Structure 1
Amino acid sequence: MINNSNSSNSSNSNSDPVRAGLPARPWPGLLPTSKSFGNFGDANCMEQLLVHCANAIQSNDATLAQQILWVLNNIAPPDGDSNQRLTCAFLRALVARAAKTGTCKILATTAARYCYNNNLLPLSTHRFSAIELATFVDLTPWHRFGFTAANAAILDSIEGYSSVHLVDLTSTHCMQIPTLIDAVASRFESPPLIKLTVAAPTDSSLRPPVLDLSYEELGSKLVNFARSRNVAMEFRVIPSTHSDGFSTLIDHLRIHHLLYPEATPPAAEALVINCHMMLHYIEDESTATIASPSPRDAFLKSIRSLEPTVVVVVDEDVELTAGNLVCRLRSAFNYFWIPFDAVDAFLPAAGSKQRQWYEAEVCWRIENVIAQEGMQRVERAEGKARWVQRMRNAAFREAAFGEDCVAEVRGMLGEHAAGWGLKKEEEDQLVLTWKGHNVVFATAWVPA
């Protein structure tokens, strides 16, 4: 269930449907009067209205879609409470879907006016400096949870190796690596050589957060930081992308594996695959042909063939792969309330650039889930249970997180707002929670 705080009555300048460019005739049986908008502020009711709007767009019923839009426009202002901002984000996504697909052409013509009247910023993303991005990802445990759990698993796995080939598949542009370097420097008297390999996207469709820095510049900064901590590091970038299942990266790893086999001293080298909220961008079964295997399963089996020392999988515990728009909308609505609710606990309601960046990223993701289809819909997260099964099918077995790791994660959560929690599932799986609801999971794997 989602956060069901009641919203206050809303009466803005767009409550006149004629001025808003929407139909003026009443909607018998559903359209509320201006005095009764508060009754529609319940999150469950907002979800139902969004579902009705999605169905109207799917069936090309422009009149019904516009009437629901008018209602939602009044009860879900972009500067309202967390439920209202969440609903506003989904409303924008539905309008974008109508404009993109060409259905409900009358509705699509109101999209620009709707955004203008509500003073909504475009969904173009801010380009972060390295320091800004580091601060951004530390706002909540959303990423720090995975960083902390993954680092602990990696440190346990590389004990005794003189060299570590770390493959970082991440959505945060290597923001985990400085914390790992610190941990390596603190733990080992003679730190191993770290060979960091990063897959750089080859397409122009970047998802937020976007780094205002080339990977070469980023690598130089990381190498210099490692040197300051007396850790030797090499950095290489492999042009590769999720759209082809990171095939170029896999080819590079195969060649490297032949040159530096793990079992051959003195060049004993650990191969660490760190997957931080990146695997769900690989195509799933819905985009594969009948004759082809699942691109996700194919990637995992390719990784397994390299006999990695450890594979860490951190991702969001939500199912966003449904082909049916309404099913996807419901699942997304009952997950994305979490960042909107959590942000109220640690950032001011107005005047915060960090808050704008934070919610802009969430809005981008919601729009991708709702408005896009086919190859353009890259937000295809799967729940923990599905990834666990994929890993087992690829001949991996789970590696337990130690008590020191659990204690470190709990200590990290203590630095954030009350509401964040940690639970262990099936002994070897760590799950970040917000008010008891699953948010992000962390698992570690070794060849079976």
Structure 2
Amino acid sequence: MEQLLVHCANAIESNDATLAQQILWVLNNIATPDGDSNQRLTCGFLRALISRAAQSGSCKILAAAMANAHSNLVVNTHKFSVIELANFVDLTPWHRFGFTAANAAILEAIEGFSVVHIVDLSLTHCMQIPTLIDALASRHEVPPLIKLTIAGATHDIPPMLDLSYDELGSKLINFARSRNVILEFRVVPSSYSDGFGTLIEHLRVTQQQNLIYAADQNRSEALVINCHMMLHYIPEETLSSISSPYDFELNNLSPASSLRSIFLKAVRSLDPTIVVLVDEDADLTSTNLVCRLKSAFNYLWIPYDTVDTFLPKGSKQRQWYEADICWKIENVIAHEGLQRVERVEPKTKWAQRMRNANFHGITFGEDAVSEVKTMLDEHAAGWGLKKEDEDLVLTWKGHNVVFATALVACLTKFIS
């Protein structure tokens, strides 16, 4: 099926409508949306190729006919309630692995601070935060004050939430109060598309104010940058024409630098107590469609394979789960330029970026490893954990899925 998809992609790219039509009809007959995991995966790529063909030269009419004939190829992503999303996240270690590893590293890093400022750049709309609040409440007789800042930037990326950020903040504040934790919640309108420039500027200003106030009040404040599957939406080198909101003179950076590298160096300039990065361990950044298709196919079989172990066929949750994967496939295959936001990079690439920004990794403690293993025991056999250097990696049947890395600023003088 992968080879058929590759041939079809090549036909579409060369505007060979006859060959594309032949392959599309073959794929349509063998890649059913209710078949086994490999058929459903291929069906997702089929729909994405039809969508791409609809934008390509002589293949437009063909794609329109295919799309009209097969309405089941349309992706309908679900807007979750908070309860639905919490239950959805709990179904699989895909996100829980990162939550567990990150919380353990954060709890260790903030020990002794009376105020903890968490900047939560998370794809899952703060679903990690209640477990962190619970842990703080159980560990401290007088928990630290929590300042939570988020960027209002993920309203258009699955999983989607059916309530406003203000409503989400109210729920989190009330939950924290029930655990005797004081939580302050702030939303900064800032987008991944410009490297969260507005957020960084906001943090710089508030950091200066906080330093003065903290000195007056004789209290210490930790800054935690928690990045959960969000940074790969920041444009990378293949979108080098993107203008940056950052001050190049201040950061001593070239305008040719990618926004990812610029963002990380801007974060380093804030001197955070800890940075935690959790993301998918794959490479979906190639400018070549066929290379990107192969990488995506050989990574995204994993969620389709795992879903059979925890969700019954025909269930609503399974439809929601696979619709979100299909959205990712379509974005990777059917779009280019700014519209293609699913630009996942492998762990090795992020490690290099972090070193260039003057961060170094720290080892996850035994408690973190133990908690992750305990969490994995709640899920189907096939999930595993391994350590690579200082990082933790979630695996499925031996294949890398998601990585977690904890970083601190190098002690040497920061050089941009």
1:218 to 144, 154, 168: 168
For residues 291 and 208 of structure 1, what CA distance do their matches in structure 2 show? 31
The CA deviation at 1:248 is 0.6
1:341 to 299, 302, 305: 305
Contact 1:102 1:108 in 2 (8 A): no
The CA deviation at 1:75 is 1.2
**Residue 188 of structure 2 aligns to a residue in which SS?**
strand
1:150 counterpart = 2:76: no
* Equivalent residue letter for 1:368: N
Contact 1:99 1:111 in 2 (8 A): no
Moved more, 100-109 or 140-149: 100-109
Give per-residue Cα distances to partners, 1:108-142, cap 9 Å, x unaligned: 222323423xxx16313211110001111111000
> 5 Å matches for 1:421-432?
421-426=384-389, 428-432=390-394
Higher CA-based Rg: 1
Paired residue total: 396
Contact 1:245 1:296 in 2 (8 A): yes
For residues 400 and 94 of structure 1, what CA distance do their matches in structure 2 show? 42
**Residue 404 of structure 2 aligns to a residue in which SS?**
strand
The CA deviation at 1:291 is 4.2
2:123 to 138, 162, 171: 171
Alignment partner, residue 135 of structure 2: 183
Contact 2:67 2:73 in 1 (8 A): no
2:186 to 218, 221, 236: 236
**Residue 100 of structure 1 aligns to a residue in which SS?**
coil
The CA deviation at 1:221 is 0.3
1:227 to 177, 182, 185: 177
* Equivalent residue letter for 1:216: D
Contact 2:328 2:342 in 1 (8 A): yes
For residues 346 and 179 of structure 1, what CA distance do their matches in structure 2 show? 22
Task: Give the gaps of 5 or more residues in structure 1.
Answer: 1-45
**Residue 110 of structure 1 aligns to a residue in which SS?**
helix
The CA deviation at 1:259 is 1.1
For residues 323 and 446 of structure 1, what CA distance do their matches in structure 2 show? 32
Task: Give the gaps of 5 or more residues in structure 2.
Answer: 242-253, 411-416
* Equivalent residue letter for 1:446: V
Percent identity, aligned pairs only, is 71
> Taking structure 1 as reference, are residues 160 and 103 closer, same or farther at Cα in structure 2, changes over 3 Å only?
farther
Give per-residue Cα distances to partners, 1:75-124, cap 9 Å, x unaligned: 111110000000010000000001133441232222323423xxx16313
For residues 115 and 23 of structure 2, what CA distance do their matches in structure 1 show? 60
The CA RMSD over aligned residues, in Å, is 1.4
1:305 counterpart = 2:269: yes
Contact 2:12 2:56 in 1 (8 A): no
Give per-residue Cα distances to partners, 1:202-237, cap 9 Å, x unaligned: 8x7x01111001000000000000000011110001
For residues 363 and 76 of structure 2, what CA distance do their matches in structure 1 show? 41
Contact 1:260 1:268 in 2 (8 A): no
Alignment partner, residue 337 of structure 2: 374
Alignment partner, residue 151 of structure 2: 199
Structure 2-normalised TM-score? 0.93
Contact 2:50 2:67 in 1 (8 A): no
For residues 127 and 298 of structure 2, what CA distance do their matches in structure 1 show? 28
Give per-residue Cα distances to partners, 1:232-286, cap 9 Å, x unaligned: 1100010001011001100110011101239846131000000000000000001
Alignment partner, residue 137 of structure 1: 89
Larger RCO (CA under 8 A, 6+ residues apart) = 2
Alignment partner, residue 386 of structure 1: 349
> 5 Å matches for 1:289-300?
289=241, 291-300=255-264
The CA deviation at 1:423 is 0.2
For residues 359 and 327 of structure 1, what CA distance do their matches in structure 2 show? 23
**Residue 345 of structure 1 aligns to a residue in which SS?**
coil
The CA deviation at 1:294 is 1.0
Bigger share in helix: 2
1:250 counterpart = 2:214: no
> 5 Å matches for 1:23-422?
46-116=1-71, 120=72, 122-201=74-153, 206-261=156-211, 264=215, 266-289=218-241, 291-350=255-314, 352-422=315-385
Contact 2:15 2:56 in 1 (8 A): no
